Structure 1
């Protein structure tokens, strides 16, 4: 089978990592692949390094619509974003079918071009039950499938893991890893840190990520000694190995791929009852589920899984 993957994002975040994981798996299975990517994105560099893929550089969805790009392709696959319009145009011009994978749980746009792109897709894929629900609300007649992400596997450097552990020696190390947007719930984590500093000094929280909300979050955390802003990380495997707990208190979330990645390494996780997170976490079986925005619940969850804190100090919820 010959598949054309299209990702026109200029950055490199969850969607790009998931697409790259899928591409590597398909190459291992013997698929023939063409990849259309933004030349400004690190994603294009990652594809170039694979060598087995035919790489087509494309700055905008209105460009690079030669018949030759998909002449031998059975299907085009896109991860939402502007790429859906590239796939739509390629189908209208050359008749190549396409599949859309949606990663976010927001309501679908009512813009005519977006609706046309979804209507003309052969199949729509949602990464969680909540995403599928949102898709079917707008496109009830569409062919929709639920296919969760596969966890990205990161390399681990024992030297770097030891360095992280030494930096936070004798601490119960909690991490939150995400782009710093308002819906990711970093404010909830900071609120929990304020409570934890009073009665659980053994807990230290590292916020891994960057984004437009960072400056405001740093103001909220001013004066706290039990929380550190570590910036965006490329070697997440080291943090998963060094940490004792992952928290992911999003207000909305398509799936929560970082939770899958953490669980794959054996790291326990606390997440909210938002979006697709309940598809991953079975409460008190493989993690903790808490209400969105409830800093009291996330504080309790961190204490209750912390072996450094005597059981007698844990307050009832």
Structure 2
């Protein structure tokens, strides 16, 4: 096999230390699926404690599970196990997701280089480490061992340049993408009927869905508070939460306290999100912080417009009142007014228009194929500069 052919058919090892199963983890699976379909050899070094994510890997890829876990960045046995795995696998590329949010793996890029990996690439989804904290210092040190930095939004590129002083020549913006054939407008119609019946939604109800872990970041509390301001005047509004997390009991209690428990459904974790998006009319994303969320792209791909916080990468997708509605974080008046705008009977044409524009936005700019091709090109470019 020629050297150039070897570089075309490289081996890439993905690393994850995810505490949950969210958009960043789905991103890795999208990439691995796409690159494997193009003939690349993909495997995972998985330090995740999340069984749903681990089982998703195991069904498709070789998965080297890190048994020794630690929340301490100085845990030598943890790094030694990763070193031995990489030394055995000998990948051409080590792709490290969310570098730095969890201190137990912040120095993994150094371990990868010591194990003989040719190129180390990271994907930065959103600001997760402030420059004045100890992890930021370790992150800065580990960055010298990183060859390429993928960031999913222009906003986060500016953050990397300004806060972490990441060399600009190492950064490439590769926007997230989704499977536009699976998450297609008009798909899962039968599932929409089934789920709306299951959750006691009528076709005249306007269902707003919040997708994501039940954690503070996702802003579920703002959805409940906004609903409490308007539900008596707009009885057709319903709210459904897809996801699980530590705030489940708190949010249920809060719904009762706000008098909206009869308007809110807690649907739990959904392994398959297509039917869930089909069930709703509008995605509600009142998050405190995000990168370029896959849930937003998936919903829009199915023609479901979003009311979303105007933070980080989201305004790079949503053009206000054209393909969705942007609101300020935690601004209950803006959130509730946006819900009213979509719900009022005279706004049916408005909802149809922004739904169509939402779909067109994803088809033209945010397909998973675009994301995979750009990442593959970066991988090959780096390997040709060994």
- The answer for the alignment partner of 1:195 in structure 2 is 229
Distance 1:115 1:39 in 2: 23
Q: Greater CA deviation, 262-271 or 56-65?
A: 56-65
1:75 partnered with 2:93:
yes
- The answer for the alignment partner of 1:227 in structure 2 is 264
Pairing of 1:166-315 with structure 2 (within 5 A)? 166=197, 167-169=200-202, 170-222=204-256, 223-224=259-260, 225-306=262-343, 309-310=345-346
Distance 2:121 2:106 in 1: 9
- In 1, are the aligned partners of 2:15 and 2:44 still within 8 Å (CA)? yes
Distance 2:46 2:121 in 1: 17
- In 2, are the aligned partners of 1:106 and 1:134 still within 8 Å (CA)? no
> Match for 2:65 among 57, 70, 84?
57
1:43 partnered with 2:53:
yes
Which SS does the other structure have where 2:265 is aligned?
strand
- The answer for the alignment partner of 2:115 in structure 1 is 93
Q: 1:205 to 1:146 in 2, by over 3 A?
A: same
Distance 2:338 2:40 in 1: 44
Distance 1:267 1:174 in 2: 10
Distance 2:63 2:166 in 1: 35
| 5+ residue gaps, structure 1 | 312-317
C-alpha RMSD over aligned residues: 2.4
Which SS does the other structure have where 1:77 is aligned?
strand
More helix by share: 2
- Report the alpha carbon displacement of residue 154 of structure 1 after superposing the two structures with TM: 5.9
Distance 1:78 1:236 in 2: 25
Distance 1:129 1:110 in 2: 26
- In 1, are the aligned partners of 2:46 and 2:63 still within 8 Å (CA)? yes
- The answer for the alignment partner of 1:118 in structure 2 is 143
Q: Which has the higher contact order (CA 8 A, sep 6+)?
A: 2
- The answer for the alignment partner of 1:144 in structure 2 is 171
Q: Greater CA deviation, 160-169 or 84-93?
A: 84-93
Report the number of matched residues: 307
| 5+ residue gaps, structure 2 | 1-9, 70-77, 348-386
Residues 69-120 of structure 1 deviation map (CA, whole Å, 9 limit, x = unaligned): 342x321101025555333202123253201111222344543433222232
Q: What TM-score does the superposition give when structure 2 sets the normalisation length?
A: 0.73
Q: 1:56 to 1:140 in 2, by over 3 A?
A: closer
Q: 1:25 to 1:84 in 2, by over 3 A?
A: farther
